[in-house]
Chains A and B, each alone.
Chain A
């Protein structure tokens, strides 16, 4: 699958979840639902998540597209040190924040979305890495899938290599392998069978490709 930066996707998801929480909270509070106080909590939690996730993390390779005005928020996020830089902490924090919103129907979608973002942050942390200097850095996960043409037999994944976050984090590159569950393999094969289409290279002419 090449080099995928999961943390970047988790960041987008968490930001979207924050907005969903705010919207759900407004609907619940303005609509005077029963247990509307969960709606008020949802608004506060949503605002907090949005502010925390607004600065986009720096990519290891290639240029990072910063969000407009993110440098101001980066300065604030930096103040909290490892509590905001570490992705494990973020994953746990998002999971905890999402739980109370699950008690109200209007905000349950925000719960689900934030929980998914938390899961993706956790996925991006295998092996564990922490962010270096703000803007934060992402871990690279290199996965090579060995398929055998049209064979539908289940094979195990092998993670070929990991790359560390960056030279700023002082973490050496680590060799690690693990077996992913077979349901992931089946999902990948389903995608392989179905994705007979093609991705287009972003911002590049069709002949220039990675």
Chain B
């Protein structure tokens, strides 16, 4: 099927443009620094000494400066959540860029890895020209820049090997704990550049590079060998002391004095100080904000291993679609786990809630603490047990692309299994009041394997359906439920859910037909597509969003990158 260029530009254009800008900045910085060290008069002698390795190494360092500063910015989640919600970023296109923050972080990380490797090898090459192996090892392990450089490469190695896709998918803990070594990396980086090993010439006017000294003989080259012997323990190479070289030039520059050298100011400090301070400030703010525990109001057990927790916290505000992280010291002192809010606090009601699916050891232990085994089958926990709830801390709320679904006139929300949670908060918000938002039509597709899973939000869906029928807006929400696997026995959700039973289909959705139908009934409009589910589903929808349709309808695909 042909790709619609309009849709492709809307979906991919801004992302690729930003990538191009970032790439251009890197190339420009690399080239500019390379030329500076290759041709700049203040580095003339240094270049003569160290050769091409110096230029490559310094150019890599400047690219590293840029990326080490940029890599922190996508991780300022509170700041990004603020930008998403504030009026300061009015354009939806710009807000959609924030969805790609993790991808940008990974891109910068890979670049840091590549250029650190290049800097490491060009360092060894440039110093191999004039020093012996043992001297180089001494330089590496006894100077501050050398030692910190080695440590940084080792830290980077640990971080990179634990950040591969396979490790993140299978052992997220290894990734999370090693990634916190970034702080060590930045501290070492700060020390690494303070060594002042490479110097530039300060007195270019009185000693232009390549000038000859009238009083100088071959045995009186005192200043340059001094510089050499200070750092490299070798006599000055013979290349400069031949006056015959200069007799071919028309103008011969005369040295007024010996060259003087001074260490460069560590530019890295200027690059990384801003983002590092910003990131540290954000972490401090998040720590202070999450220090107060929440009050758990109720714990509800749902079918198919899902538990709902409703809680309150003072001054907690969240928008629909945002997520929080839960930290329960009684379960694990170190782990924080993110969960999308299924119910947000409103002006009238301060309660908010999350739905958790019990799939791993943390959620299992958490459930055992909240719901004693005897009452795990019943639906609502008796109030008398509330005093035994463990202390629970939350951090957030953090933004996600699902917040945008209320800002489109028409939205298509596709949920796979427990991926319905971000949309549940949207539906709760619409149930409360739908008029303030731009959204006028919502297509809600929910695909589940087990029919009992629909009962998580069956009440909510029915209430919403009834509300819009009462308000004479029956086309506002279009619900379609799909049961992808069936044993053929149970075909209805529950007898009281008439509206949902009539909208229940057996089998997987036929996405092409669905997209065509939505395009036909919303001609010329921009439809926001939101997907929360397996990767394969997401890829299918992404591809369909870029395809052409004969109704001039544009589908904008919004997705958050997990891992």
Verify if A188 is at the interface (C-beta below 8 Å from B): yes
Verify if B362 is at the interface (C-beta below 8 Å from A): yes
**Among A194, A203, A210, which residue has its beta carbon within 8 angstroms of that of B562?**
A203
Q: Which parts of A41-100 form the interface with B (CB within 8 Å)?
A: 56, 59, 62, 64-65
Q: Which residue of A lies closest to B357 (CB)?
A: A208
The answer to whether B337 touches A208 (Cβ under 8 A) is no
Verify if B533 is at the interface (C-beta below 8 Å from A): yes
Majority secondary structure of chain B interface residues (helix, strand, loop or mixed): helix
**Among A65, A113, A144, A207, which residue has its beta carbon within 8 angstroms of that of B342?**
A207
The answer to whether B177 touches A195 (Cβ under 8 A) is yes
The answer to whether B180 touches A62 (Cβ under 8 A) is no
Say which one of B125-133, B250-258, B379-387 lies at the interface with A. Answer: B125-133
Q: Tell me the smallest distance from the CB of A141 to a CB of chain B, in Å.
A: 11
**Among A20, A35, A65, which residue has its beta carbon within 8 angstroms of that of B169?**
A65
The answer to whether B124 touches A27 (Cβ under 8 A) is yes
Verify if A172 is at the interface (C-beta below 8 Å from B): no
Say which one of B155-163, B205-213, B428-436 lies at the interface with A. Answer: B155-163
B167 proximity list for chain A (CB < 8 A): 8-9, 12
The answer to whether B153 touches A109 (Cβ under 8 A) is yes
Verify if B171 is at the interface (C-beta below 8 Å from A): yes
User: Chain A, 141-154, contact with B by CB distance < 8 Å: what is the 0/1 string?
Assistant: 00011110100000
B117 proximity list for chain A (CB < 8 A): 20, 23
**Complex-state Cα separation, A89 to B563, whole angstroms:** 33
The answer to whether A210 touches B363 (Cβ under 8 A) is yes
Q: Tell me the smallest distance from the CB of A63 to a CB of chain B, in Å.
A: 9
**Complex-state Cα separation, A3 to B361, whole angstroms:** 8
Q: Which residue of A lies closest to B333 (CB)?
A: A147
Say which one of B9-17, B37-45, B283-291 lies at the interface with A. Answer: B283-291
The answer to whether B162 touches A9 (Cβ under 8 A) is yes
A106 proximity list for chain B (CB < 8 A): 121, 124, 128
A56 proximity list for chain B (CB < 8 A): 166
**Complex-state Cα separation, A106 to B125, whole angstroms:** 8
**Among A16, A104, A199, A205, which residue has its beta carbon within 8 angstroms of that of B172?**
A199
A23 proximity list for chain B (CB < 8 A): 117, 121
The answer to whether B339 touches A5 (Cβ under 8 A) is no
The answer to whether A198 touches B395 (Cβ under 8 A) is yes
**Complex-state Cα separation, A206 to B401, whole angstroms:** 12
Verify if B400 is at the interface (C-beta below 8 Å from A): yes
**Complex-state Cα separation, A194 to B418, whole angstroms:** 30
Q: Which residue of A lies closest to B175 (CB)?
A: A199
**Complex-state Cα separation, A205 to B419, whole angstroms:** 5
**Among B121, B175, B286, B419, which residue has its beta carbon within 8 angstroms of that of A208?**
B419
What would 18 A/B residue contacts be, using CB atoms closer than 8 Å?
A: A1-B335, A9-B167, A9-B174, A12-B162, A13-B158, A23-B121, A24-B121, A35-B133, A65-B169, A105-B133, A105-B137, A106-B128, A191-B334, A195-B180, A197-B75, A198-B395, A205-B532, A210-B337
10 closest Cβ pairs, A-B complex: A210-B360, A147-B333, A207-B421, A202-B563, A198-B325, A205-B419, A198-B336, A199-B176, A208-B418, A206-B340
